[in-house]
Chains A and B, each alone.
Chain A
Amino acid sequence: MRSHKWYTPWMLVAPAVIWVLVFALWPFINTIGLSFTNARPLLPGKFIGIDNYTRMFSDPQFGYALQTSLLYMVICVPLLTVLPLLLALLVEKTIPWIGFFRTTFYFPVIASVVVVALIWSWIFDSRGIINEALQTFGWIQKPIPFLVDRWWLLACAILLTVWKGLGYYMVVYLAALGGSGTKELHEAASLDGAGSFQRFLSVTIPSVRMAMVLIMALVAVSAIRVFTELQVLTNGTGGPGGQDMSIVMMIKNVGSGLTGNVGYASAISVFLFFLTLFPLLGIAFLNREKKDRAPKAPKARKAYTAKKVAA
């Protein structure tokens, strides 16, 4: 039934489409284009071929940034895949006060990364609580330079990312754990003599497998894009010699300001884009076994249903 003029739906979706085109797709195409030029904010720039890309791979600063971002990903992915699952199992059962615990475990998630980083930089300070505690116990003579040393700084940033992310992925796992049929599986496994650890391995893990793959990809992508933690913990300097700069920090530092090298920043951005595609390709790869779905084409679908009915 014709319930509207032909242009009505287009008027309704117009703002969304225009916004996405202007603020996401066009900038992306423009970024690819600019990455082959030596553009500056005030002048359009000339085509210089792949110079920006060759420069990128010989730039030691970019090497550090790539190292930082990849290390961030390699450490964050296992931590934020396993720890939130354990936390979700801890808050899974409906016992008194559990709503209170679930809610408070989510507080760090809604806080701004800036706030969280300021709080933790005060804890890691040379006169902060951790150093004071270690000195009181006499375990160290002088404060550990948490926020000055390259590797300590990275470790602190990762710690606060994990602390902040726990609650979010906990909720994703909770949704997966609440899936249908898991209770019966637990009962059956228990009757067969499986202990709680055995049940964790053979019932819980398989039932959250999809959520786990999803979470791994989400953590990987957001870890590669790390910015605020390192920016605030280092006050924007990128740590000693800029060695703790992440890729996004480098894009921001290279590309902004009146003297910013927009072309070079764009080349790094394009590289970052391809880097974030890998985790998503990983998801597609892990999902490829799940072929047992009804095919889209009508003919194949009919054959598929017939086979299912016959079986």
Chain B
Amino acid sequence: MSNTTFDAVEEFAEITSTRKTGKAPRPPRHRAYRHKGSGDFSRPTLGGLISRYVLLIIMLMIVVGPLVWQLSTSFKGPLDNIYQFPPNIVPRDPTVKNYAKVNDYVPVYLYAWHSLLIAGGSVLSNAVLSTFAGYALGCMRFRGKWIVFGILLSTMLLPGEVTITSQFLIIKNLGLADTLWGVFLPGAIGAMNVLLVATACRQIPKDMLDAATIDGATTWQRIRHMVWPNVKGMVSVVAIFSFIGAWDDFLWPLIVLTDPNKYTLTVGMAYLNGNFSADPRLIAAGTMIALIPVVLIFSLLQRFFFQGVQEGAVKG
């Protein structure tokens, strides 16, 4: 008899026995691998499982190795030889001074504050405005709706780099060149985000909204009490994407900002790397300041994140 059947019998026995005795249900025993000949393809064989973990750990070293090494370099003091091979991951002369010293070359914490302002603003404006527009496109019937859809969809084909020269002319004509507002404005609302929220709004039962209207709810109340609870998940996805997109952006702030005192973190880091022959330890500290916030946000909200990548794969 195949092992899967055994497992099933065991599980069934456990379920029935807990039902009789009324004890708290024990989680059913679950093996991480299958035996040869078993047809359950959701689990690998034992040999497969071991080689799988070996490969996973090799990949982990390739993927996370450079990041961990950079983290360790950022804590290395002057007595640590950062050029030696094999490299030591644990600093011999650990110090946190690099995080203060990097600020003597360029004001990284000011840059981080600028990045935070832009990313925070971008989260707010994208979350609010794409909820409004998404609700109108997903739930309301109005003339010209398909024109709006067409306008939004047409920008999907248009890479931002193509229009960047003219976009800068507009920002300059608005008098916003070399300001943080100029960096923030073009990304304040993304067409893709509106379309994502509109898709989520289409799932809301129409009868529910109609019932709310009959009960005298205004548009604002419908958005607040009916739409928002239903699209919260998608809006979180939009918010996370907006934050990371704005925090990581490089080309646009590089074009808009010319005064080194107004740089965002990414532009500032490239500036530090290019214009001062700074100690690699200091550059490592700077990159960690840029990396750690997004890693934290991602780790805390990863559930929404993966959902977002799967639903909005086209976002690129």
A256-B316 CB under 8 A given contacts A20-B155, A93-B42, A119-B66: no
CB <8 Å contact, A183 and B41: yes
CB–CB A269/B161 < 8 A: yes
Measured in the bound complex, the distance between the Cα atoms of B311 and A174 in whole Å is: 12
Give every chain B residue within 8 A of A120 (Cβ-Cβ). Answer: 66
Shortest A233–chain B CB gap in Å is 10
B122 interfacial contact with A, CB 8 Å: no
Distance (whole angstroms) from the CB of B214 to the closest CB of chain A = 8
Chain A residues within 8 Å of B209, by CB? 3
Closest to B41 in A: A186
Interface centre among A102, A127, A228 (most CB of B within 10 A): A228
- A295 vs B62: C-alpha distance in the bound complex, in angstroms? 48
A41 engages B172 (CB within 8 Å): yes
Nearest chain B CB to A48's CB is how many angstroms away? 17
Docked-complex contact A23 and B167, CB < 8 angstroms: yes
**A272 interfacial by beta-carbon distance below 8 Å:** yes
Question: Is A107 a contact partner of B219 (Cβ separation < 8 A)?
Answer: no
Q: A3-B209, A172-B309 are in contact. Are A107 and B155 (CB under 8 A)?
A: no
Q: Are B56 and A101 in contact (CB under 8 A)?
A: yes
A129 within 8 A of B: yes
- Give the CA-CA distance A187 to B43 in the complex, in Å: 12
Q: Verify B219–A4 contact, CB threshold 8 A.
A: yes
Pair B157/A6 contact, Cβ less than 8 Å: no
* Main SS at interface, chain A: helix
Q: Are B298 and A236 in contact (CB under 8 A)?
A: no
Contact A269 B164, beta carbon cutoff 8 Å: yes
Interface size class of B (residues with CB under 8 A): 35 or more
Nearest residue, chain B, Cβ from A255? B165
Chain B nearest Cβ from A219, distance in angstroms: 9
- A31 contacts B83, C-beta separation under 8 Å: no
Q: Which of B143-181 contact A (CB under 8 A)?
A: 143-145, 148, 151-152, 154-155, 157-159, 161-170, 172
Closest residue of chain A to B87 (Cβ to Cβ) is: A129
Complex partner residue of B67 from A107, A127, A166, A236, CB under 8 angstroms: A107
| A174 CA / B313 CA spacing, docked (Å) | 12
Residues of A within 8 A of B143 (CB): 6
> Which chain A residues numbered 5 to 23 have a C-beta less than 8 Å away from chain B?
6, 8-10, 12-13, 15-17, 19-23
Q: Are A107 and B63 in contact (CB under 8 A)?
A: yes
Does A180 touch B at the CB level, under 8 Å?
Answer: no
Which of the 9-residue segments A51-59, A72-80, A109-117, A296-304 touches chain B?
A: A109-117
Contact at A110–B295, with CB atoms within 8 Å?
yes
Cβ of B60: which chain A residues have Cβ within 8 Å of it?
101, 104-105
Q: Quick one: which of B151, B165, B298, B306 has the most chain A CB within 10 A?
A: B165
Q: Could you tell me if B250 and A113 are in contact, using CB atoms closer than 8 angstroms?
A: yes
How many residue pairs link A and B with beta carbons under 8 A? The number is 286
A265 touches B210 (CB 8 A): no
- On B, residues with C-beta under 8 Å from A are 32-33, 39, 41-44, 49, 52-53, 55-56, 59-60, 62-64, 66-67, 69-70, 73, 83-87, 129-130, 132-133, 135-137, 140, 142-145, 148, 151-152, 154-155, 157-159, 161-170, 172, 185-186, 188-189, 191, 194, 209-210, 213, 219, 244, 247-251, 254-255, 266, 269-270, 273-274, 280, 283-284, 286-287, 290-291, 294-295, 298-299, 302, 305-306, 309-310, 313-314, 316
Given A111-B295, A114-B269, A133-B86, 5 additional A-B pairs, CB 8 A: A22-B170, A110-B294, A163-B63, A172-B309, A186-B41
30 A-B pairs (CB sep. < 8 Å): A9-B136, A12-B136, A13-B148, A27-B169, A28-B158, A28-B166, A30-B169, A90-B59, A93-B44, A104-B63, A105-B63, A112-B248, A112-B250, A112-B266, A112-B291, A112-B294, A114-B269, A114-B290, A115-B291, A118-B287, A119-B70, A127-B83, A167-B63, A175-B310, A175-B313, A222-B316, A235-B273, A235-B274, A252-B254, A269-B165
The interface of chain A, by Cβ under 8 A from chain B, is 1, 3-4, 6, 8-10, 12-13, 15-17, 19-28, 30-31, 34, 41, 87, 90-91, 93-96, 101-108, 110-115, 118-123, 125, 127, 129, 132-133, 135-136, 163, 166-168, 171-172, 174-175, 183, 186-187, 190-191, 211, 214, 218, 221-222, 225, 227-228, 231-232, 235-236, 248, 251-252, 255-256, 260, 262, 265-266, 269-270, 272-273, 276-277, 280
